[in-house]
Amino acid sequence: MAELVEVLGPGCRRCSELLERVRDLATSEYPAIETRYVTDPAEIVGRGFFMRTPALVIDGTVVATGRVPSRTEISAWLQAPKEVHP
């Protein structure tokens, strides 16, 4: 089970869509997961995501960049982050 889920994006529509999907899943199925929305451009660039937003980072591992993954995908990552990350 994932612990910390981060959505990186400077507040555009696609970023907030991704955030909503993650928060939705977290509250309904994984209440223990902490979600964090990173909108500060300095942090986004500082972590290297300058052309890859929106980005989804689970427990420090980048799982998706530049797109909004489906709920099924996000759910699989939340359940078993270690397994799917090579």
> According to the binding rule CB under 8 A, does residue 1 interact with another protein?
no
Compute how many residues bind another protein; rule: CB under 8 A: 38
Selected from 14, 36, 71, 82, the binder of another protein by CB under 8 A is 14
Q: How far apart are CA 38 and CA 29, in angstroms?
A: 22
Q: How far apart are CA 68 and CA 77, in angstroms?
A: 14
**Pairing outcome for strands 55-58 and 4-8:** antiparallel
> According to the binding rule CB under 8 A, does residue 13 interact with another protein?
yes
Site for another protein in 34-73 (CB under 8 A): 41-42, 44-55, 61-70, 72-73
Residues 6+ apart with CB under 8 A from 28: none
3-state DSSP assignment of residue 57:
strand
Query: Could you tell me the two tokens for 40?
Result: 């500060």
Nearer of residues 27 and 70 to another protein, judged by Cβ: 70
Binding site for another protein (CB under 8 A): 9-15, 41-42, 44-55, 61-70, 72-73, 76-77, 84-86
